[in-house]
Amino acid sequence: MKPRRVPATADTNAVEHLSSAQISAFRRALLRWFRTVKRDLPWRRTRDPYQIWLSEIMLQQTRVEAVVPYFERFTREFPTLAALAAAPEQSVLKLWAGLGYYSRARNLHRAARQLAQSHGGAVPTSASELQQLPGVGRYTAAAIASIAFNEPAAVLDGNVKRVLARLFAIDMPIDDGPVIRRLWQLAQSLLSRRSPGDFNQAMMELGATVCVPRGPRCMLCPVRKHCAAAQQGIADRLPVLSAKPAPLAVDRACIALRNQRHEWLVAQRPDRGLLGGMWEFLGVALAEAAEPAAIARAWQREFGLRPTCLQDCGQVRHQFTHRDLTLRVFSAETADRPAPRLAAHAAFRWVSREELDSLPLAKLERKVLALLPAPPAPAET
């Protein structure tokens, strides 16, 4: 069979249905739009690679509106990488408390210490070096390298995946390995070499504000004329996602033990794993419909302490990535400051209500705290 001849006019830079001229027009339209409508966010007012890195870590799986106040507090407290590296881990976790996914904070801190020791305290300038740091994956490395150092490295997050799936009318699950590889290639092919940082941010901004998951706002879209899904009228049917298992329902009970000095018993979770390094009230797995007395016995078996005057304070619900937790909350009393038997925790402390506020507590523990009885008011003299 004769080899197929490539016509002399073949557009070798075309990407699927887009010719190289259309890709240039796409980049221009997207960048023009972004520079006009972009949201004023604190990390967009700086070129400091440390702050851009911090913002990218905070933004992982977290909404922009939730990140802004955390970013502002964090950069006030730790304005430089050196300041972060010098801080104790507990101070870092305390500032992160409530933002979730605490391994991000621990990895960021470890990376800052690593760089302070071996890199003269400077943030690496290339995506490949950045990817060597704890907690920095391909997406984060590309975001930092492109925004802070203008490296032409494309990003692919949930927003960009959705935009690309629609632009190229990809009707296969976008969380499948081969499709993800194709999406990375498409993102890299579309990327503006001249303004990679703005282009990456523009793709993410388009996904966050116009090409939204439900009801894409195609009439307002700056790249509508290049979009295959809009032309085919199938934008609201894309992207296709694989069916995910429903989160596992988990029932637990915790007993907040208080002594006669009005101090609460709290324990610190081990460094690794869910909520690593954070402090919490001690809890046990709950058998269905367990009576308070049975819960107290199970708690005593686990921690070696006998709770007395058990009081039912209610329950809290909390959603983790793969778990839907219902936590029954009890308070109880003890005379002095006994030491619990701990198998799965790193440390314990007896702390006043004020000291509790200075510890890194996850959102779940704040919900528990809100249900606990206040200490009695001091007697009038």
Burial bucket for residue 80 (CB in 10 Å: 0-12, 13-18, 19+)? middle
Min dist. Cβ of residue 232 to ligand SF4 (A): 10
Nearer to ligand SF4 by C-beta: 209 or 326? 209
Is 230 one of the binding residues for ligand SF4 (CB under 6 A)? yes
CA-closest candidate to residue 281, choices 307, 309, 251, 257: 257
Report the distance separating Cα 50 and Cα 219, nearest Å: 37
Residue 20's φ and ψ, nearest 5 degrees, are -65, -35
**Sign of torsion, CA 168 170 173 178?**
negative
Selecting among 16, 56, 333, 354, the annotated active-site residue is: 56
Is 235 one of the binding residues for ligand SF4 (CB under 6 A)? yes
Question: By rule CB under 6 A, what count of residues binds ligand SF4?
Answer: 15
Min dist. Cβ of residue 9 to ligand SF4 (A): 28
Residue 164's φ and ψ, nearest 5 degrees, are -65, -40
Region near ligand SF4 per CB under 6 A, out of 27-35, 92-100, 220-228, 336-344 = 220-228
b vs e for 230-262, b when ≥16 Cβ sit within 10 Å of the residue's Cβ?
beeeebeebbeeeeeeeeeeebebbbbbbeeee
Q: Name which position in 186, 223, 265, 316 contacts ligand SF4 (CB under 6 A).
A: 223
Min dist. Cβ of residue 26 to ligand SF4 (A): 10
For residue 253, list its beta bridge partners: 284, 328
Nearer to ligand SF4 by C-beta: 30 or 368? 30
Is 221 one of the binding residues for ligand SF4 (CB under 6 A)? yes
Q: Name which position in 187, 229, 278, 356 contacts ligand SF4 (CB under 6 A).
A: 229
Is 167 one of the binding residues for ligand SF4 (CB under 6 A)? yes
Is 163 one of the binding residues for ligand SF4 (CB under 6 A)? yes
Quickly list DSSP for 249-302.
EEEEEEEEEE-TTSPEEEEEPPSSSTTTT-EE--EEE--TT--HHHHHHHHHHH
Region near ligand SF4 per CB under 6 A, out of 51-59, 160-168, 188-196, 338-346 = 160-168
Instruction: Provide the phi-psi class of 124: left if phi over 0, else alpha when psi is between -120 and 50, else beta.
Output: beta
Instruction: Provide the phi-psi class of 101: left if phi over 0, else alpha when psi is between -120 and 50, else beta.
Output: left
Residue 56: active-site member: yes
Is 211 one of the binding residues for ligand SF4 (CB under 6 A)? yes
Is 186 one of the binding residues for ligand SF4 (CB under 6 A)? no
Is 218 one of the binding residues for ligand SF4 (CB under 6 A)? yes
Q: Name which position in 160, 210, 275, 316 contacts ligand SF4 (CB under 6 A).
A: 210
Asked if residues 216 and 235 have their Cβ atoms less than 8 Å apart, the reply is: yes
Nearer to ligand SF4 by C-beta: 127 or 223? 223
Is there a cis peptide before residue 216, judged by omega within 30 degrees of 0? Answer: no
Q: Name which position in 49, 135, 152, 216 contacts ligand SF4 (CB under 6 A).
A: 216
Q: Tell me which residues are annotated as active site.
A: 56
Binding residues for ligand SF4, rule: CB under 6 A, are 163, 166-167, 210-211, 216-218, 221, 223-224, 227, 229-230, 235
